[in-house]
Structure 1
Amino acid sequence: MTSPDVLRPHAERRHADELAAIAAADDRPRPPGWRLSPRAVATYVLGGTLPGGAVISPKYVGPRRVVEVAVATLATDRALLLLGVPGTAKTWLSEHLAAAICGDSTLLVQGTAGTAEEAIRYGWNYARLLTEGPSRAALVPSPVMRAMAEGRLARVEELTRIPPDVQDALITVLSEKTLPVPELGEEVQAVRGFNVIATANDRDRGVNEPSSALRRRFNTVVLPLPATAEEEVEIVSRRVAEIGASLELPAPPAAIDEIRRVVTVFRELREGVTADGRTRVKSPSGTLSTAEAISVLTGGLALAAHFGDGALRAADVAAGIVGAVVRDPVSDRVVWQEYLETVVRDRDGWRDFYRACRDA
């Protein structure tokens, strides 16, 4: 059981009541090993109202078809690759898909440049290996091996961060649905319900492009950035409120005004043009993702709560915005100062924001 002091419970714990309500109302066929039908999984992810009147909160705000394609892929024998720029909720979506489909989002391989093949295949308890030799007791299964044996979903985060030779350890798993253990003369065969969700982005440095053999074993779903400013404001508002509540920060009055300003700044710099389409602006080197906007505003909430009067103001978010935009101290600083002087300074109602950013 999850302790009440856990900062961020897993999705299946955090939304257990919703999952139970959806399961009780779900009368559609369920693929082998699934806890919910594909349509019910989409309802959990996108939100909606159940026949009995229970309201399901949306976990992902975006095109419905994207979620439907992702869920349908997992109902086949094809693995799913969620691809997108940083901050497009790839990890968030993969967690909630795993929570809804198999009730366990914890079978996770975190991809890094140092991820070893044992993280995907298996390792050994070397103390037992030296004393007993190769045995089932000495074997340390990876999250992927456990998912295969239990008929669950394995999650591979940041696939393109993993060295190519380690990535290719997934090929046999995904094509043959088996994982050989030659030291024991055995193999682990996947139980119905097993599949893999991987996430990747190709914007960061140090990317290891998957081999064509591995890519053929995935269906790729591209997660877009929020289509409109209002959609992004909705996403940011909801996540900031959730994070603020978990940190026991008081809900600030009129926070939507600052949220809207932060989102506007990020979108204009990201897209290289102002919201009215009249002025071209230079884009900085960073991605300025929705996730970064959430981080800036959460930091602003903490400043307002602990060092202000609780109301979120321009001065509370200015330092965070500058930190998010100015990643390169030379080129990005020029871009930011030009944006302040040509766009922000003369914008109606933004004088306080201009001063706060100049001070920061």
Structure 2
Amino acid sequence: MTLTEHSTDVAAEQTVEQALRPHAEDAFAHELAALAAADDRPRPARWRLSPWAVATYLLGGTLPDGTVITPKYVGPRRTVEVAVTTLATDRALLLLGVPGTAKTWVSEHLAAAVSGDSTLLVQGTAGTPEEAIRYGWNYAQLLAHGPSRDALVPSPVMRAMADGMTARVEELTRIPADVQDTLITILSEKTLPIPELGEEVQAVGGFNLIATANDRDRGVNELSSALRRRFNTVVLPLPATPEAEVDIVARRVDQIGRSLDLPAVPEGVEEIRRVVTVFRELRDGVTADGRTKLKSPSGTLSTAEAISVVTGGLALAAHFGDGVLRSGDIAAGLLGAVVRDPAVDRVIWQEYLETVVRERHDWKDFYRACREVSA
């Protein structure tokens, strides 16, 4: 290795270490490399791993050489298998679910495992233009020399088509309907016309697209039936059991905490379990024992929000406490997550505190902390 190559590698490693949130292919590069080395199954064109290895990367496992692959998604195995298999066909993948069900997380890790690059991303918003999906122009070049390939600015989708990689479109239903429909030709004909040049870009083997949308956005910019037919829809459910949700929250908080130099999670597992219990009970409209009916607040109270509440609590414990996560550290974040509509949600929260939390004898510290911030 030359000195220049060594310097480049060191710089690349420092960039990954300094990134607040490394891309999946960087953060889990060692796992992807180990899977590639152990993977002797057939791989679709331009895939870095076989479908089996991609599913193992997401769900976790132990390789023959002893390498432990950490789970990226905790949920039904068949859901992941169907998602991976879809990407190996000519149909695009739509990940659907309520907010906080790890749609973006799964999308990123699928792209990282399949193509080795999760950055070919279009972020959907109400202002997403057609150029974000098709292509744009370098107007200095365009004015100086007219339409040409040099003046054309390819979108992430166009680049994925040309290189046989996986593109991602986040929050598809937030994109205006007329812009959404630019995907129809791309997904059905695997072609992107460039009428200004009298040319087209044809997708090469390995190209596919992952889109995400959430159930709460129905009616915002509903997908046309023509576009919906181009997708195979996979619904990502909420965690099936409290134990699964606690595990997800603890894993993600631990990953985020390491990047922020926060205390380790294990000492605060009991508080994580309380946050998850509160979220699940209010979300389901009934206590865990099924004895008390509850009113549900206006927020989604998703797993992602539970992760945010616990991470914020850890930060409080680290910077203004003794580093151990306690009820007082999570109470304010919990109140903010539950009470989104002050006129309605505050009443629901107070009722929950007095009729449920207060009666749990091992939750006295939690009750006092929540009452203090709710006063």
TM range (shorter): over 0.9
Q: Does 1:277 align with 2:290?
A: yes
Q: CA deviation at 1:206?
A: 6.7
What one-letter code is carried by the residue in structure 2 that aligns with 1:340?
Answer: L
Q: CA deviation at 1:250?
A: 2.1
Q: CA deviation at 1:252?
A: 5.4
Could you tell me whether the CA contact under 8 Å between 1:129 and 1:135 is conserved in 2?
yes
3-state DSSP of counterpart to 1:19: helix
Q: Does 1:66 align with 2:79?
A: yes
3-state DSSP of counterpart to 1:191: coil
- Residues 339-359 of structure 1: per-residue CA shift (max 9 Å, x gap): 001000111211111111111
What one-letter code is carried by the residue in structure 1 that aligns with 2:125?
Answer: T
Q: Does 1:76 align with 2:89?
A: yes
Instruction: Tell me which of 42, 45, 50 is aligned to 1:32.
Output: 45
C-alpha spacing 1:116/1:175, structure 2 compared with 1 (3 Å): same
3-state DSSP of counterpart to 2:57: helix
Alignment of 1:118-267 (within 5 A): 118-204=131-217, 207-251=220-264, 254-267=267-280
Q: Does 1:343 align with 2:356?
A: yes
Could you tell me whether the CA contact under 8 Å between 1:157 and 1:199 is conserved in 2?
yes
3-state DSSP of counterpart to 2:318: helix
Gaps of 5+ in 2: 1-11
Gaps of 5+ in 1: none
Tell me, in whole angstroms, the C-alpha distance in 2 between the residues paired with 1:255 and 1:74: 39
Q: CA deviation at 1:204?
A: 4.2
Tell me, in whole angstroms, the C-alpha distance in 2 between the residues paired with 1:65 and 1:348: 40
Alignment of 1:309-348 (within 5 A): 309-348=322-361
3-state DSSP of counterpart to 1:319: helix
Tell me, in whole angstroms, the C-alpha distance in 2 between the residues paired with 1:317 and 1:260: 12
3-state DSSP of counterpart to 1:106: coil
3-state DSSP of counterpart to 1:345: helix
Could you tell me whether the CA contact under 8 Å between 2:254 and 2:265 is conserved in 1?
no
Q: Greater helix percent: which structure?
A: 2
What one-letter code is carried by the residue in structure 2 that aligns with 1:10?
Answer: H
Tell me, in whole angstroms, the C-alpha distance in 2 between the residues paired with 1:169 and 1:139: 17
3-state DSSP of counterpart to 2:309: helix
What one-letter code is carried by the residue in structure 2 that aligns with 1:81?
Answer: L
3-state DSSP of counterpart to 2:95: strand
What one-letter code is carried by the residue in structure 2 that aligns with 1:167?
Answer: Q
Could you tell me whether the CA contact under 8 Å between 1:252 and 1:310 is conserved in 2?
no
Tell me, in whole angstroms, the C-alpha distance in 2 between the residues paired with 1:105 and 1:343: 44
Q: CA deviation at 1:251?
A: 1.6
4+ residue segments displaced more than 3 Å = none
Tell me, in whole angstroms, the C-alpha distance in 1 between the residues paired with 2:266 and 2:196: 63
Q: State TM-score, norm by structure 1.
A: 0.99
Q: CA deviation at 1:95?
A: 0.3
Tell me, in whole angstroms, the C-alpha distance in 2 between the residues paired with 1:204 and 1:178: 29
Q: CA deviation at 1:53?
A: 1.6
Q: Does 1:293 align with 2:306?
A: yes
Aligned residues: 360
Residue of structure 2 in register with 1:41 after alignment: 54
Q: State TM-score, norm by structure 2.
A: 0.95
Q: Does 1:358 align with 2:335?
A: no
C-alpha spacing 1:59/1:173, structure 2 compared with 1 (3 Å): same
Q: CA deviation at 1:205?
A: 7.7
Identity %: 81
Residue of structure 2 in register with 1:114 after alignment: 127
